[in-house]
Amino acid sequence: MVRALIVFAAVPLFLTMGAEASPPPATERSAVWRAAVREINEQLPERHPDWFHRITAPDWDTAADKLNERVPALDEQLLALELSRLVALGGDSHTAVRLPPIEPAMATLPARFAVMDDGVFIAAANGPHHRLIGARVVGFGPLDADEAIAGVSTLFAWENEHWRRRQAAVFLTIPAALEMIGATPDRQTVRLRVRPPGGEGGEETVTAEALSPEEARGGWATWMSRLDGKVPLAVKGASSFYRSEFLDDSGVMYVQYNKCASAPGFPFPEFARFVLSKCAELDARRIVIDLRENAGGNEGVILPLTVPLSVTERFREPGSIVCLIGPGTYSSGMGNAISLSRIGAVLIGQPTGGKPNSFGEVRSFPLQELGTVVYHSTRLWTKVPDSDPLSLLPDVAVPRLGDDLRTGRDRTLEAAISYTPGSRQGPDAGADGAPGGTTGREP
């Protein structure tokens, strides 16, 4: 039996486009976009702590000049994506440009994707495409799935393979981006080559028509709605800052920590005291802290939990503290995982999307004429001073498989509950993300 111990604290949704700004008049269009390119070209090297760690100054200036030359030939959707591609040349995943107000607004595919260890799968779909939820996407037009991922990966910055594949899932939903990489000749429709859920049946081609932002506001169904059994614990709390449940059958206290921030109305110190008191009251044998969807915030918020954990007698035995990590563990969320590993936590899951030694502490500057802002790092964080790993790697590797969208299985949490000190493999291990600790490097 599972006892729900707290109410969820809602996570606000931040839109990528400002609602109040308007696109510039057509007569000013080229001048406005060229001014934005010039501002980015000049400001990022001045504001970033080491902008030329991945690209040389001459190459940076050349890229900006070439984009400026192309401005009159590109529509606003392509210009917005090209601006993102320009900023991505810096190779800092904390530095990006917010999508400006454009006309027409950026359309979307009637599908949302999950890039798993064994391929790209449809995790949500709109309208007549509901039947495809759980299907594997073999290709986007003439490109196979890996070619499409490689193509859209030029449009955003990434520092390891796990963040690249996670973020690619977002850009694969943008028809204009798919047009840019040659996946479709017409961004109004995209031909998806898919295999049915469960792997039964042959490949079929589905024509997906682009949706406007207004059309995309309703009509969605997700893989969770197709489950016959209970919704996985991690999904139940996906919209919360943090939550906890005690698993009676295993004696495990499950703590989901999605955002490095204190929830309004329920400060984190109060939550931490509650969790620790319940661990004592219910005689928890293990505490599992789930950071798989924690993309950052204030790294110090978690201290009221981790400091007492480091000296609590019941959690002194090996394996009594477990931390779940994955591609969504990023920035301060990844920093919290490193801190937990240093007090003895076993890391279970997949390599993090965050890079331990990376830029951060984000600030912004406006592109006023374009009605948007550029976010940029101001500091280099060194979490592992004696090496430069691409990811924080798990002690116990567990694959993320497309079939889990059909069955609702959470292999990583299963591995955390059943973990025996000294084991290095989770259920069905052997897929991407071999164990290796904080200093391991990806192939």
pLDDT tens across 46-93, in order?
Answer: 999 999 999 999 999 999 999 999 999 999 999 999 999 999 999 999
Q: Report the alpha-carbon distance of residue 34 to residue 29 in Å, rounded.
A: 9
DSSP 49-66: TTGGGSS-HHHHHHHHHH
pLDDT exceeds 50 at position 1:
no
> What average pLDDT does the segment 120-126 reach?
97
The answer to whether 234 and 8 are in contact (CB under 8 A) is no
Q: Give the CA diameter of the chain.
A: 70
Task: Give the model's confidence band at 428: pLDDT under 50 very low, under 70 low, under 90 confident, else very high.
Answer: low
Res 226: pLDDT: 86
| Interaxial angle between packed helices 268-281 and 303-311, expressed in degrees from 0 to 180 and rounded to the nearest 10 | 30
The answer to whether 121 and 402 are in contact (CB under 8 A) is yes
Burial class (CB in 10 A: 0-12, 13-18, 19+), 222: middle
Res 431: pLDDT: 39
Q: Report the alpha-carbon distance of residue 111 to residue 210 in Å, rounded.
A: 10
pLDDT exceeds 80 at position 17:
no
pLDDT exceeds 60 at position 442:
no
> Which phi and psi (to 5°) does residue 215 adopt?
-65, -25
Q: In 3-state terms, what secondary structure has residue 309?
A: helix
Res 10: pLDDT: 28
